[in-house]
Amino acid sequence: MTKKRALRIAIIGAGPGGLCMAIKLEQAGFQDVVLFEKSDRIGGTWNHNRYPGCACDIQSELYSFSFDVNTTWSKPYAPQPEILAYLDGVAERHGILPRCRFGLEVKGANWDETKAQWTLSLGDGSTYTADVVVSGLGMFNDLVRPDIEGLESFAGACFHTAKYDWSRNLTGRRVAVIGSAASAIQMVPEIVKTAGHVDYYQRTANWVLPKEDEPYSEEVLRQRAADPSLVVARRNEIYESIDTGTAFLDENRRAELESIGRKAIEVVEDPELRAKLLPDHPWGCKRPLFSNDYYPSFNRSNLTLVTDEIDRVTKSGVVAGGVLRPVDTLILATGFAANRFLSTIDVTGRGGLSIHDAWKEGAQAFLGITTAGFPNLFQLYGPNTNNGSIITMIEFQVDYVLSLVKRIADEGLASLDVRLDAMAEYNEALQKEIGKITIWQTSCNHYYASDTGRIVTQYPHSMTTFKQALAAAPVDAYEARPLV
């Protein structure tokens, strides 16, 4: 007879992953659960990213939990305030807020093999011990600040899009935006409406495709409120559409999408601008972007596209191509180091193994969830799990992590640690499949890869395939150590 083990569980981060994990643990009867969140509220990336125009690039019905359907989305691609309000509601409806410890950043985690416990080092100098740790850090938690000479010398207001300064009124201001990817293509069309002038520094043109995003009518919203099954049906339609997509593999489909992108650029009146905005790389080798407002904004006289390489930043402005352009506000739309995952904190596992050493060739995990040498430590939105709707992928991952946590509790185990050979076999097969997607192997400057060139963010198959892989994961992939 084995004695069932009571577990103390710590979750790092109160974003969508952390919230989903806490809800499922509580529903399964686990009571000793705490979420550590470095900010002052829940929301994760949807709390930090509050720049003008911030919105989701997956249709809202699918970018929400299957167990908490929202009938009030105002449009197909919800803006950030609506997503954050939805997550607030999820936390409140499921009673998660009392489990959250806000303003406490987890700086590190250390495994004690003898005690079979993790010790978390917190930002206030205190520590917390837990039998199981779940990381909800995901991909978007480590801000990238560009390495530009003189950046610190700038005398005006300077901030990152993920720490947008809403106290700074841009009306009549001269603004410089550095970066031309996801946050920039959403923000620039909004700030040019009030700014005196915007200098927009583009290193690489991106494919920006239009999206069907007309606000829902009052009648549709009334129908949805009266019959939530309409939202569920739409959610299922979106899932099927995204899940069966083969754009990254299908050359004809990619060509079709590039044609749509070129057509969208035609709205730009200046032919020289159109040429500068046309990407020189194939669609799909960088993150796909969507906006209906991006290209029309270049017809405004107060927006200047600068494609010269930035030489330096001075006290009064930005020097590019030998030309100083004075500005009083500098916005860094330079995104996140999306390939770091759990390694944004110091984690030490069995035998003093550092996560940095374990991932020296690039982040990797078994099923994207657990890395050999780090027992009882599970990751959500971890290495090679980026595909389709990450909320849906997170739900699949949470269900699998919950099964492992139940196993530890029900079998009275000290630890579960994925075998190194099982992890290696999984990742070898995964990288072979990734290698077949030639578009990801091109020389584009994208965030999919580690410094070694290994693709560490993307999952090469469908969401359904990932769910099936979790269900088929062999029990003997893990080394189970019983309590002494």
Single-letter amino acid code for the residue at 273: L
Classify residue 193 by its DSSP letter: T
Using CA atoms, how far apart are residues 66 and 134, in angstroms rounded to an integer? 21
Helix (H, G, I), strand (E, B) or coil at 140: coil
Tokens of 199: 């200098």
Q: In the prediction, which pLDDT does 2 show?
A: 62
Using CA atoms, how far apart are residues 305 and 184, in angstroms rounded to an integer? 12
Ramachandran sector of residue 322 (left: φ over 0; alpha: ψ -120 to 50; beta: rest):
left
Strands 174-178 and 197-201, how do they pair? Answer: parallel
Using CA atoms, how far apart are residues 8 and 4, in angstroms rounded to an integer? 13
Q: In the prediction, which pLDDT does 105 show?
A: 96
Strands 377-379 and 208-209, how do they pair? Answer: unpaired
Per residue of the chain (484 residues), give pLDDT as tens: 567 889 999 999 999 999 999 999 999 999 999 999 999 999 999 999 999 999 999 999 999 999 999 999 999 999 999 999 999 999 999 999 999 999 999 999 999 999 999 999 999 999 999 999 999 998 877 788 899 999 999 999 999 999 999 999 999 999 999 999 899 999 999 999 999 999 999 999 999 999 999 999 999 999 999 999 999 999 999 999 999 766 688 888 889 999 999 999 999 999 999 999 999 999 988 888 999 999 999 999 999 999 999 999 999 999 999 999 999 999 999 988 777 889 889 999 999 999 999 999 999 999 999 999 999 999 999 999 999 999 999 999 999 999 999 999 999 999 999 999 999 999 999 999 999 988 888 767 577 888 888 889 999 999 999 999 999 999 999 999 998 7
CA atoms 439, 440, 443, 446: torsion sign: positive
Tokens of 257: 């999408």
Cα–Cα nearest to 201, from 50, 54, 321, 293: 321
Q: In the prediction, which pLDDT does 245 show?
A: 65
Instruction: Domains for the chain: give ranges and CATH numbers.
Output: 9-142+337-482 (3.50.50.60), 151-207+249-332 (3.50.50.60)
Q: In the prediction, which pLDDT does 321 show?
A: 96
Q: Are 328 and 340 in contact (CB under 8 A)?
A: no
Q: In the prediction, which pLDDT does 3 show?
A: 75
Its pTM surpasses 0.85: yes
